[in-house]
Amino acid sequence: MDIRRVILIQPYRDGRLLGKARGAPYTLMRLASLIPDEIPVEIWDENLEPIKYDGIGPNDLIGITSMTFTIDRAAIIAREMRRRGATVVIGGTHATLMPEHCAEFADVVSVGEGYRTWVQIINDFANDTLKPLYRDEAWSSLQGVATITDRAMRIVNEHRDYWTPFMEITRGCPRDCDFCTAIRVSGRIMRHRPIDEVIDEIERRGIRRFGVTDDNFGLNFRTAPEYLEELFKRMEKLPLQSWNAQGEQIVANYPDLLKLARKAHLDKIFIGFESINPDNKSSLGGKTKAHAQQIREVVRKIHAAGVGVVGLFVTGFDHDTPESYQAMWEFLRDSELDGVSLTVLTPFPGTPFREQIVDEGRLLDVPWSYYDTAHITYRPKLMTVDEMHKHYSWLVRKVYSPWQIARRGLSSLRRYPITVSHRKAFGSFSTDYGFRKTYVDGYF
């Protein structure tokens, strides 16, 4: 089969916000970089433009990446493409967690990271030897993996079209929180990209601000301090404005590394506190449970290094009751956090939490689009679905009220010297504004 072109597609998620899409299609840029130069490649992001089916034909290889909550949209695109004779490969989180579901509407399912099987898929397409399933779960070294090419950087205009370019530095998480997909999608061994490659990629892409995609970058403060020290010293010299990463509360125990991170332009760290209800500890895979007083202390220590803290909280654990929402509000209403993410616990495929929910007959029959962490997809243990919906919607309206967003944004802005505060104004409010769009405006 002669390959006319490869088209990589990101299905619709939330469209444009003030003219730009939220996050650049970073994984697709890296997959595009693996395609030999002689094969034309295009990246279509449905958040920017509608899919154009005209002209699709049998010599086109279509790669669609999808999370669970966009999989229904991915299936529609896949079926339309196949109707026109194209061959469709589905990859990404949902394909990894539920390959048998994706096999219902794709020619090929790519399970796992895909960086090592994608080239094989292209070759097999050219040789008419495609198989229905490819697995890339070796969790091997990240050295030299899918280095972004100049062609991929030309195809995606990260600066013009997106609010947030992404960057991968490490991958994997050894924790096993029972609701999280990280172990199944990224592996339980924490792997590190060579620092030279990280620096080279930032420089070549010319990005000044970015979000780190790593599930638990912060764990490296304890497990790989030498790596971080060298990384931060190298990043300090780059002309960066700011970057953000996810972590856990243990980062607060490393003030010297935090100060280096701040000098390296780390602006905010997103900390998975998950729950202030100590009875939910068993779901947290060995992470330190979060008491309200302990969170205040963690925030104070991280702030002392000049780094902001966005608190990530999950609601709807088995020990949560209507009173838990009131307690959460009493904690958050005057907390020093720079931003707050309040999600609904979600039984993602492949997780122990989903197995438990299925065994107990508590899974709700809802579309996959409900798996966006803003909808209720299971019957909670100590509340009815209606009660949980009522209390969650009450809480997000309180937490993302204009006043609360302004309060946190202004207090965040105070971390900066007055001379640079005008440059930091947007970033100080945009995180919470984005959460409001998802958890209040997008749902209710």
HEC readout, the chain: CCCCEEEEEECCCCCEECCEEEECCHHHHHHHHCCCCCCCEEEEECCCCCCCCCCCCCCEEEEEECCHHHHHHHHHHHHHHHHCCCEEEEECHHHHHCHHHHCCCCCEEEEECCCCCHHHHHHHHHCCCCCCEEEECCCCCCCCCCCCCHHHHHHCCHHHHEEECEECCEECCCCCCCCCCHHHHHCCCCEECCHHHHHHHHHHHCCCEEEECCCCHHHHHHHCHHHHHHHHHHHHCCCCCEEEEEECHHHHHCHHHHHHHHHCCEEEEEEEEECCCHHHHHHCCCCCCCCHHHHHHHHHHHHHCCCEEEEEEEECCCCCCHHHHHHHHHHHCCCCCCEEEEEECCCCCCCHHHHHHHHCCCECCCCHHHCCCCCCCECCCCCCHHHHHHHHHHHHHHHCCHHHHHHHHHHHHCCCCCCCHHHHHHHHHHHHHHHHHHHHHCCC
- Please pick, from the candidates 193, 262, 287, 391, the single residue that binds ligand SF4 as defined by CB under 6 A: 287
Q: Select from 173, 235, 328, 332 the one that contacts ligand SF4 (CB under 6 A).
A: 173
- Verify binding: residue 281, ligand SF4, rule CB under 6 A: no
Residues 21-80 within binding reach of ligand SF4 (CB under 6 A): none
Q: Find the binder of ligand SF4 among 9, 81, 122, 177 (CB under 6 A).
A: 177
Confirm or reject binding of residue 285 to ligand SF4 (CB under 6 A): yes
> Based on CB atoms, which residue is closest to ligand SF4, 356 or 393?
356
Nearer to ligand SF4, 173 or 337 (CB): 173
Number of residues that bind ligand SF4 (CB under 6 A): 12
**Min. distance of Cβ 271 from ligand SF4 in angstroms?**
10
- Kindly tell me the sign of the dihedral angle through the C-alpha atoms of 185, 189, 190, 193: negative
Give the binding range for ligand SF4 (CB under 6 A) out of 41-49, 56-64, 115-123, 172-180.
172-180
What part of residues 205-224 is at the interface with ligand SF4 (CB under 6 A)? 215-216
Q: Is 245 in the site for ligand SF4 (CB under 6 A)?
A: no
Question: Cβ closer to ligand SF4: 87 or 93?
Answer: 93
Q: Which is nearer to ligand SF4, 322 or 352 (CB)?
A: 352
Nearer to ligand SF4, 65 or 181 (CB): 181
Taking contact as CB under 6 A, which single stretch among the options 32-40, 171-179, 352-360, 420-428 is the one that binds ligand SF4? 171-179
Q: Which is nearer to ligand SF4, 287 or 391 (CB)?
A: 287
Minimum gap (Å) between residue 312 Cβ and ligand SF4: 9
Closest CB to ligand SF4 among 162 and 317?
Answer: 317
Residue number, 176 or 236, with CB nearest to ligand SF4: 176
272 binds ligand SF4 (CB under 6 A): yes
- The distance of closest approach from Cβ of residue 183 to ligand SF4 in the complex, given in angstroms and rounded to an integer, is 6
Q: Which of 182, 212, 251, 252 binds ligand SF4 (CB under 6 A)?
A: 182
Tokens matching residue 379: 């019957």
In the complex with ligand SF4, the residue whose CB is nearer, 175 or 379, is 175
Tell me if 290 contacts ligand SF4 by CB under 6 A: no
Contacting residues toward ligand SF4, per CB under 6 A:
173, 175-177, 180, 182, 215-216, 248, 272, 285, 287
